[in-house]
């Protein structure tokens, strides 16, 4: 790892310093409740270009702008529908990104050239303190995709960030250690540019929750869906091959709910007791497979609704490889 600054003591002074660092054009990785993000000033084209470079991310792949409260929505978006306000009131701070028609503040280097922008208020004390400090010194929002190389497994700890992108960071950049992420999979992305909400990426905020909040039926995703983070068919993939819902054999890694027994000679990577815990540990277990040099990981997917839908979405993309 290069000599980027590692911040393990998240004091108010340290977070003010990190906010100033972002405003100065540097990159700061920070925790959210979903995964760790790699933050840059969302109004600084040069800083965002460097963020794309560090991630190895295609420049037409849009970024999510993180803000400290729903009061910032009108800075970044226009023509905000009533149901989007309802969603923001009910689920922010939280693991939900709203895609809205962009304002002039959301430039092409943030939106991937699209006429829409993704906005999120994360539910993590460190992330919110960082965003509030950033806004207090004149910042408008922090663009923060997951702090990993493009297409690979998102990090859910600061150590995973350092392992994944440390060599690409400069001495002025920072990694803030806020502990392990409690959700473990990326935010639900909801398209709010039509008459009713449309899920572009599933997450912890489910169809049932969205419909209860808005009183509207969630629309199906059409062929001309907006490009958003994590929507490629091959994504979230370790170096190991991910194989779904078969019996594991000797030498393979294995992830399944705790009630599923481990066959002889199989390397158990995780045995979560619930779907929620499955989401929390999934990415760390996939990373462990690579650390252990495994060539295959068999995953028995959770069934049913809720966050299991998001887990199956991520695993389907992981199974397509890098």
Closest C-alpha to 321, from 150, 152, 148: 152
For residue 140, the enclosing domain spans 5-214
In a domain, 76, yes or no: yes
User: Among 77, 65, 75, 59, which Cα is nearest to 113's?
Assistant: 59
Angle between helices 12-23 and 125-136 (to 10 degrees): 60
Same domain, 58 and 139: yes
Number of Cβ within 10 Å of residue 216's Cβ equals: 15
Instruction: Please say which residue of 214, 232, 263 terminates a domain.
Output: 214
Instruction: Say which CATH number the domain at 298 has.
Output: 3.40.50.11030
The label of the residue with tokens 């006429």 reads: 115
- For the chain, how many structural domains are there in total? 2
Q: Which tens digit of pLDDT belongs to each residue from 206-230?
A: 999 999 999 999 987 765 677 777 6
Do 203 and 245 belong to one domain? no
Helix (H, G, I), strand (E, B) or coil at 153: coil
* Domain stops at, among 171, 198, 214: 214
pLDDT for position 224 = 63
Residues 151 and 252 in one domain: no
Q: Walk along the chain (322 residues) and give the pLDDT tens digit of each residue.
A: 455 687 777 889 999 999 999 999 999 999 999 999 999 999 999 999 999 999 998 888 999 999 999 999 999 999 999 999 999 999 999 999 999 999 999 999 999 999 999 999 999 999 999 999 999 999 999 999 999 998 899 999 999 999 999 999 999 999 999 999 999 999 999 999 999 999 999 999 999 999 999 999 998 776 567 777 766 666 678 999 999 999 999 999 999 999 999 999 999 999 999 999 999 999 999 999 999 999 999 999 999 999 999 999 999 999 987 6
One domain for residues 63 and 189: yes
pLDDT for position 234: 65
Residue with tokens 């199956």: 312
Do 44 and 93 have their domain in common? Answer: yes
222 is a domain residue: no
Domain presence at residue 63? yes
Tally of CA atoms within 13 A in the half-sphere of 50 that contains its CB: 18
171 and 82, same domain (yes or no): yes
Q: Is 41 within the bounds of a domain?
A: yes
Q: What's the confidence (pLDDT) of residue 1?
A: 43
Tokens representing residue 30 in the block: 């920070």
Considering the domain architecture, whether residues 26 and 124 belong to the same structural domain is answered as: yes
- Residues 158/181, Cβ–Cβ less than 8 Å: no
191, 115 contact by CB (below 8 A): no
Q: Where are the beta strands (DSSP E) in 140-183?
A: 142-143, 174-176
Q: SS3 for 216-279, per residue?
A: CCCECCCCCCCCCCCCCCCCCCCCCEEEECCCCCCCCEEECCCCCCCCCCCEEEECCCCHHHHH
Helix (H, G, I), strand (E, B) or coil at 149: coil
**One domain, residues 201 and 247:** no
199/262 same-domain check: no
Residue 99 located in a structural domain: yes
Q: What is the pLDDT of residues 127-147, one digit of tens each?
A: 999 999 999 999 999 999 999
Task: Tell me what pLDDT residue 151 has.
Answer: 84
Residue 231 pLDDT: 62
Q: Tell me how far CA of residue 163 lies from CA of 37, 159, 223, in angstroms.
A: 14, 6, 36
CB-side neighbour CA atoms (13 Å) of 314: 29
Residue 30: what pLDDT?
97
Cis peptide before 93 (omega within 30 of 0): yes
118: domain CATH number is: 3.90.870.10
| Domain membership flag for residue 13 | yes
């Amino acid at each position: 790892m290069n000599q980027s600054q590692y911040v393990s003591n998240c004091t108010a002074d340290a977070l003010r310093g990190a906010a100033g660092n972002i405003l100065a054009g540097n990159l700061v990785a920070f925790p959210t409740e979903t995964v760790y993000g790699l933050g840059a000033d969302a109004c600084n084209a040069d800083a965002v270009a460097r963020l794309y470079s560090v991630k190895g991310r295609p420049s037409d792949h849009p970024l999510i702008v993180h803000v400290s409260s729903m009061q910032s929505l009108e800075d970044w978006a226009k023509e905000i529908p009533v149901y989007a306000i309802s969603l923001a009131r009910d689920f922010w701070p939280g693991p939900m990104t709203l895609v809205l028609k962009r304002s002039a503040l959301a430039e092409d280097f943030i939106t991937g050239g699209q006429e829409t922008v993704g906005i999120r208020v994360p539910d993590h004390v460190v992330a919110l303190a960082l965003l509030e400090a950033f806004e207090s010194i004149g910042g408008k929002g922090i663009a923060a995709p997951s702090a990993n190389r493009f297409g690979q497994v998102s990090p859910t700890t600061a150590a995973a960030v350092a392992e994944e992108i440390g060599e690409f960071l400069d001495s002025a950049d920072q990694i803030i250690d806020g502990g392990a992420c409690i959700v473990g999979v990326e935010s639900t992305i909801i398209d709010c540019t039509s008459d009713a909400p449309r899920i572009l990426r599933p997450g912890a905020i489910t169809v049932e929750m969205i419909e209860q909040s808005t009183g509207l039926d969630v629309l199906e995703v059409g062929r001309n869906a907006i490009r958003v983070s994590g929507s490629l068919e091959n994504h979230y993939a370790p170096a190991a091959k991910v194989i779904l819902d078969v019996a594991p054999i000797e030498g393979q890694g294995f992830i399944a709910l705790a009630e599923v027994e481990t066959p002889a000679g199989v390397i158990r990577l995780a045995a979560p007791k619930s779907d929620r815990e499955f989401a929390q540990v999934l990415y760390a277990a996939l990373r462990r497979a690579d650390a252990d040099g495994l060539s295959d990981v068999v995953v028995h997917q959770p069934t049913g609704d809720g966050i299991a839908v998001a887990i199956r979405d991520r695993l389907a993309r992981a199974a397509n490889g890098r």
